Amino acid sequence: MGITETLDKIARTVEGFTAYGKHPYTSAVILAGGIGSRMGHTEPGATKQFLALDGEPIVLRTLRMFEMCDDIDEIVVVVRKEERYLYLPMIGRAELKKVRRIVDGGESRQESAFEGMMAVSDSCRFIAIHDAARPLILPEQISAVAKEAYRNGAAAASCRAKDTVKLVHGADYVQSTPDRETVRFAQTPQIFKLEEYRAAVYLGKEKGLSVTDDCALVEAVGFPVKLVDTGYQNLKITTREDLYLAEAILQMRRDRSEDKQNADI
């Protein structure tokens, strides 16, 4: 059966996986292979995923959020080869039971996601791709995206545009101004039925597609993706300013939790 026939078959057979309240086996692939050159640290153990956020490595906080999510059955971590030795001790100390495999990443994000896909369990039915540099995602938000993926075949975290967006051409001349109500900023996790995602990945390779997120692959082969609003706090830590903002968000969450506890007394 060719790629086209396979895609047609998958598109016609989206199953109802949420019957009886049981979710399909879902594997999370955490992409932690970035160098983080904009942070100014590229040596092993000092890359952005190992920078301290609230006293612990960014990647560890991210892994813990997926460990705590009931809809995630296993975790595959895609890492820099030079940093692989750091993961087993860290995961052991944190007692993360869902981390099943640690694999080396590729030269690009797209290649690293492919390596993660190849490492998931044979039981996997849905795959959740997430950037390790998004440590502020919450378990309930992961579940919200997963449940939409189970219903629709593909879903992704996102947030609404706050500002007016301009499309440009040439030397930053405005080409057009899309209606802000139609604009969403893509985040992760992005969760897909494994058969659909695998077909999209291989077709992307066949066509030589180069993408910056996994939704783009799925979109390119015609599968619809449902967006889930996970708010503005699910930021990606790319610069030093992002790290300071993440610290402030965590402090705000603690303050709100304490206020709620005090109100309940």
What per-residue confidence (pLDDT) applies to 36? 58
First to last CA, the chain: 64
Among 6-10, 50-54, 66-70, the range with the most confident prediction by mean pLDDT is 66-70
Band (pLDDT 50/70/90 cuts) for residue 13 is: very low
Q: Is 208 helix (H, G, I), strand (E, B) or coil?
A: coil
pLDDT computed for residue 2 by the predictor: 52
Check residue 45 and give its pLDDT: 59
Q: What is the DSSP string of 69-99?
A: -TT--EEEEEE-GGGHHHHHHHHHHHT-SSE
Binned at pLDDT 50, 70 and 90, residue 259 comes out as confident
Closest CA to 50 of 29, 68, 74, 33: 33
pLDDT grade, residue 150 (50/70/90)? very high
Q: How confident is the model at residue 261 (pLDDT cuts 50, 70, 90)?
A: confident
Four-point Cα dihedral 217, 220, 222, 224, nearest 10:
50
Q: What is the CATH number of domain 3-159+185-264?
A: 3.90.550.10
Q: Which of 238, 245, 240, 246 is nearest to 34 (CA)?
A: 238
Segment 111-116 shows an average pLDDT of 95
Neighbours of 81 (CB within 10 A): 11
**pLDDT at site 20:** 38
CA 250 → CA 97, 174, 191, distances in Å? 24, 37, 25
Q: What is the mean pLDDT of residues 76-87?
A: 95
Q: What is the gyration radius of the CA atoms in the chain, in angstroms?
A: 19
Task: Give me the mean pLDDT over the 195-207 stretch.
Answer: 92
Q: What are phi and psi of 141, to 5 degrees?
A: -75, -40
CA distance 196 to 31: 20
Average pLDDT, the chain: 89
pLDDT at 39: 59
Q: What average pLDDT does this structure show over 210-216?
A: 92
What pLDDT score was predicted for residue 90?
95
Q: What is the pLDDT of residue 200?
A: 94
Closest by CA to 51, choosing from 235, 186, 178, 238, is 238
How many CA within 13 A on the CB side of residue 149?
34
On whether the CB atoms of residues 199 and 221 are closer than 8 A, the answer is: yes
Count the Cβ atoms, other than its own, within 10 Å of residue 93: 9
Residue 242 has pLDDT above 90, yes or no: yes
User: What is the model's pLDDT at position 15?
Assistant: 40
Residue 16 scores a pLDDT above 80: no
Measured CA to CA, the distance from residue 105 to residue 114 in angstroms comes to 9
- The per-residue pLDDT for 264 is 74
pTM over 0.85: yes
Report the distance separating Cα 227 and Cα 210, nearest Å.
Answer: 22
pLDDT band at 1 (very low <50, low <70, confident <90, very high): low
CA-to-CA distance for 113 and 105, rounded, in angstroms?
8
